[in-house]
Structure 1
Amino acid sequence: MQMSTLLLLGLFLLLLWSLNRWHRSRESLAPAVFAGLVLGAVYAGFLQLARQWAAAPAQEVLAWVDLLGDGYVNLLHLLVMPLVLVSILGAVVRISSTRSLGKISLSVLAVLLGTTAIAALVGVLMAQLFGLTASGLVEGAREVARAEVLDQRLGRVEGLSIPAMLLSFIPKNIFYDLTGARDTSVIAVVVFAILLGLAALAVRRDNPEQGALIEQFVGVAQSWIMKLVRLVMAFTPYGVMALVAGLVARSSWADILNLFSFVLASFVAIALMFVVHGLLLMANGVSPRRYFAKVWPVLVFAFSSRSSAATIPLNVETQIGGLGNAPAIANFSASFGATIGQNGCAGIYPAMLAVMVAVPMGINVLDPLWLTTLVAVVVISSFGIAGVGGGATFAALVVLPAMGLPVTIAALLISVEPLIDMARTALNVNGAMTAGTLTQRWLGDTSAAAPELARP
């Protein structure tokens, strides 16, 4: 191992030690997460300099940085399935009426899909205002390789019907889905947990004593899993630091500048959707300032990890402990929001790409019929995009062919995808938490749930 590598690793350990001292001196997780974000960006600057001087040491150091960052994300993925299973099961077992279960599901889905429709319109507006077009985009070696991959994956979504998408939500082998092997495994586990919970309610009606034992067992399982969640959550600042360091160190600023208009338009569109979320909360008596003060550590992790699924544990924990949402609402909104109605990946992104391709083809993208069709396709595909997996890219692979447009543009934007995807993921997760908070206001006991969020 070269001396420069040892020095860079020593600096990384020193920053981790400093972050640990900062974390231990504060009870709240939020300041430590922010500190991890800043330190990760600073360390990435040193790695960028090292990469310019000698490529080998920087790459070797990044392997160790990824060990911490990817290891933390792996632990969060480990938590997702057990947390979803026991949390949804516990919510159903304790519910007083199956009607409440239906109301929660419909309310969460309505917010997720409604905001996705708004996100599609925002994407169209931004593409028009910034004059974005597919004409003139450079196709290099990476773009050609990406196009070949997309051609292969396009076969997975061509001819995919809505019934086929919905069928993928129904579990066939729950043990297989508990491994997360399918793109729709999270929803499949939710469906299984609901069915298992409904069976427990039936047992409670026939035999109250056995029903009480089931409820007690589920309660113990929930407490056990939540202790595990909090144990892993304690490593969040260090995981964020490593993830940010790796992402920033690998960024190509030349590519970002080359596609600056698209990057800027994407971030403006994402920022506008955060404003939309805030307005929806304010219209329902929730203070946006206090809401975002509670959820921003979750958004920082979503931003750095680029994984809505990995953010589910922190999402649920924050909704229950910070926002005061009922466990049933928190778990439904976090689980559904990780795979359905993603405002950033399934709303803004495919709508912007559709406009960029349609304009050079002479299509009037502001034509009411074409615009309505695009929004409808985006909303439908956002509901079933988990059936094909791959986030924003697969959303584009569904939407563009449905609108009669080529999919090549998705390959031409590969250079800036990681940067934009970070913000899109944060928006997706915020959409899920917004859906949970609004559902709590509409269906829950708002007088008892997080009164500090109410507008003064």
Structure 2
Amino acid sequence: MDWMVILNIVILLALIGLLIFMQRKHVSFSKRVFTGLGLGIVLGALLQWVYGSGSETLATTTDWYNVVGRGYINFLMMIVVPLVMVSIIQAITNLEKSAQLGKMAGWIIGILIVTTMVAAMIGIGAAAIFDLSAEEITVGEAEQERAASLEERYSSQVETVSTPQRILNFIPSNIFFDMTGQRSTSVIAVVIFSIFVGVAVLGVRRKNPEQAEMFTKIVNAVYAVVMRIVTLVLRLTPYGILALMANMIASTDFAGILELGKFVLASYVALGVMFILHLVLVGLFGLNPLNYLRKVLPVLSFAFTSRSSAGTIPLNISAQKNALGVDQGVANMSASFGATMGQNGCAGIYPAMLAFMIAPSVGIDPLTMDFLVPLILIIGFSSFGIAGVGGGATFAALIVLSSMGLPVGLAGLLISIEAFIDMGRTALNVNGSMVSGTLTSRILGNFNTKVFNDKTAIEEAKSL
């Protein structure tokens, strides 16, 4: 192994040691998370400055850093399925009536889809203001290969799958297969199965209360163990963010970002406007937006660096329940649904901007109602089942563009900046799910205002 790689590993271990020292000094969890974030930015910038983005030493270094960064994400993904399943079953068994479940799911899904359609309009507005056009995108060899790959993927995975078939994919035919997370709709499938189990327990409780009570005790015991595992994994968050951010900065193609600077700027302006709208919604429901922002920042910082809405589910649930005061059942469902549907950034803003840019190239005026209304509706309905991992935005774009009869190759021409923009989109996706949970809990009257106003209740900082 190159001695420079060994030196880089030693530096990472030293920074991890610093974070461990901060933990032993009882520095708050949120401060350790942001310290890890800052140290990762500095370390990544130094690595790229010293070695250059195409260096073999840098590639080997980031590969070793992934043991910490991607390893942490794998730990989170490991607990997603058991957490979602057990927590939703427990939440439903605590309901007095199954009708409450319908209201909860209806409000969560409604808020997710409506905000995604609003995000699409904001994306269109940003593309129009910045006068974005597909013809401005420079085509290189890598971009041409990616465009050809997407065309092939479109014909095999998107064009042959109708909307009814995509809806049918939500329904689990083999729950054990979906527990492995092999499908983009696996999380929703697990949620649906868990809902069936929870509703079945409510039915058993009316006829055989003793059996229902026994099952409930088992579920509560398993839930306690799962939550303890979640706590143990979440303690690794500062170290995971450190490594993830270092790798992201070190491997980012800043030349590509500068070359496509107008698209990058328009994308982040749209993301910023939608994020502000989220805070406005929180304020309209009688909650302090700044207090909300302070409590969700640790979660959003992880979503930003990991680019995984699904991997953020455990942090999402924990923050909603312990920092925001959202009802446990609402938090479980909004985090799970938000990772696979109604993603404001990936399924809303991004496909809308691409459709606006491509339309003129095929002779369509993108500012006419005949184009805008179908586009926004398609974005809303097609946002179901988008995988909450890196690449989900591209798949969402393929579905929307093909449904609108537009060529899909443009997504391949943005290969050099995809990861950089995807970080912001993922953070917005996660924030959208947290907003849907907060508003739904507020509407249903089971929101804990005391916890929300408690400035010390941030992401279980006391126990982490």
Same fold (TM > 0.5): yes
CA spacing shift, 1:321–1:387, aligned 2, 3 Å: closer
The CA distance in 2 between the partners of 1:32 and 1:373, in whole Å, is 46
**1:203 aligned partner, one-letter code:** V
Correspondence list, 1:31-70, <5 A: 31-52=31-52, 55-70=55-70
| 1:95 matched residue in structure 2 | 95
The CA distance in 1 between the partners of 2:388 and 2:31, in whole Å, is 37
The CA distance in 1 between the partners of 2:198 and 2:450, in whole Å, is 24
**1:346 aligned partner, one-letter code:** A
The CA distance in 1 between the partners of 2:413 and 2:290, in whole Å, is 38
Unaligned segments of structure 2, at least 5 residues: 456-464
8 Å CA contact 2:307–2:389 kept in 1: the answer is: no
Secondary structure at the counterpart of residue 183 of structure 1: coil
| 1:229 matched residue in structure 2 | 230
Secondary structure at the counterpart of residue 138 of structure 1: coil
Secondary structure at the counterpart of residue 408 of structure 2: coil
Return the offset for 1:57: 2.3
The CA distance in 2 between the partners of 1:451 and 1:78, in whole Å, is 29
Q: Deviations over 1:172-200 (max 9, x none)?
A: 11111111111111000001111111111
Q: Deviations over 1:293-333 (max 9, x none)?
A: 11110000000000000000000011110011111100110
CA spacing shift, 1:453–1:21, aligned 2, 3 Å: closer
Q: Which moved more, 1:344-353 or 1:244-253?
A: 244-253
The CA distance in 2 between the partners of 1:269 and 1:258, in whole Å, is 19
Aligned residues: 454
The CA distance in 2 between the partners of 1:19 and 1:389, in whole Å, is 27
Return the offset for 1:445: 2.7
Secondary structure at the counterpart of residue 386 of structure 2: helix
Identity, % of aligned positions: 47
Secondary structure at the counterpart of residue 28 of structure 2: coil
The CA distance in 2 between the partners of 1:52 and 1:199, in whole Å, is 58
Indicate yes or no: 2:132 matched with 1:129. no
**1:21 aligned partner, one-letter code:** F
8 Å CA contact 1:165–1:387 kept in 2: the answer is: no
Correspondence list, 1:97-246, <5 A: 97-154=97-154, 155-246=156-247
RMSD over aligned CA atoms reads 1.8
Q: Normalising by structure 2, report the TM-score.
A: 0.94
**1:166 aligned partner, one-letter code:** I
The CA distance in 2 between the partners of 1:17 and 1:118, in whole Å, is 44
Q: Which moved more, 1:227-236 or 1:246-255?
A: 246-255
The CA distance in 1 between the partners of 2:93 and 2:301, in whole Å, is 33
8 Å CA contact 2:53–2:252 kept in 1: the answer is: no
Secondary structure at the counterpart of residue 61 of structure 2: helix
| 1:294 matched residue in structure 2 | 295
| 1:348 matched residue in structure 2 | 349
CA spacing shift, 1:54–1:182, aligned 2, 3 Å: closer
8 Å CA contact 1:123–1:351 kept in 2: the answer is: yes
| 1:383 matched residue in structure 2 | 384
8 Å CA contact 2:112–2:343 kept in 1: the answer is: yes
| 1:73 matched residue in structure 2 | 73
Q: Normalising by structure 1, report the TM-score.
A: 0.96
Return the offset for 1:359: 2.8
Q: Deviations over 1:157-179 (max 9, x none)?
A: 11422221121111111111111
The CA distance in 1 between the partners of 2:160 and 2:141, in whole Å, is 30
CA spacing shift, 1:227–1:388, aligned 2, 3 Å: closer
The CA distance in 2 between the partners of 1:23 and 1:265, in whole Å, is 39
8 Å CA contact 2:187–2:336 kept in 1: the answer is: yes
**1:286 aligned partner, one-letter code:** L
**1:140 aligned partner, one-letter code:** G
Q: Deviations over 1:227-250 (max 9, x none)?
A: 000000000000001001111111
Return the offset for 1:136: 3.1
Correspondence list, 1:259-408, <5 A: 259-386=260-387, 390-408=391-409
| 2:417 matched residue in structure 1 | 416
The CA distance in 2 between the partners of 1:181 and 1:143, in whole Å, is 28
The CA distance in 2 between the partners of 1:339 and 1:300, in whole Å, is 20
Return the offset for 1:12: 1.6
**1:14 aligned partner, one-letter code:** A
**1:324 aligned partner, one-letter code:** G
